[in-house]
Amino acid sequence: MPENAPIYEKYVIRRTDGQHRPGKKHAECRYFVLDLDHDPAAIPALRRYILECVGDRPDLALSLNDLLADLGHGGMHTDDFLAHTKGRPDTDGR
């Protein structure tokens, strides 16, 4: 299938913790893969995902931010995280 085709099954993803098995929490979950090395939309998408994670999963947000820096895309400054959480009901806005 051509690279510019609509979404289709291109990858098979299996969780390493076994939670993808029948009857487990993630048995029917769907996943979306980003090619951080070749897809020009992937880095902006990852940046937005990081901001969405800040309130509920700050450790994940920081780890993904480190990944951005490691890839040479410059991680976001901590102030960017803090500015994004201000006024959100799921954070204390500090």
State pTM to two decimals: 0.71
Q: Helix 58-70 to helix 42-53 angle, to the nearest 10 degrees? A: 150
Task: Assign 27 to helix, strand or coil.
Answer: coil
User: Where exactly are the structural domains of the chain?
Assistant: 42-85
pLDDT digit string, tens, across residues 13-56: 888 999 999 999 999 998 889 999 999 999 999 999 999 998 89
What was the pLDDT predicted at 94? 38
pLDDT digit string, tens, across residues 50-85: 999 988 998 999 899 999 989 888 777 666 666 665
Residues 40, 29 contacting (CB under 8 angstroms): no
Cα(3)–Cα(5) distance, rounded to whole angstroms? 6
Q: Which two tokens stand for residue 5?
A: 């085709």
Report residue 93's pLDDT band, with 50, 70 and 90 as the boundaries: very low
Cα(85)–Cα(50) distance, rounded to whole angstroms? 12
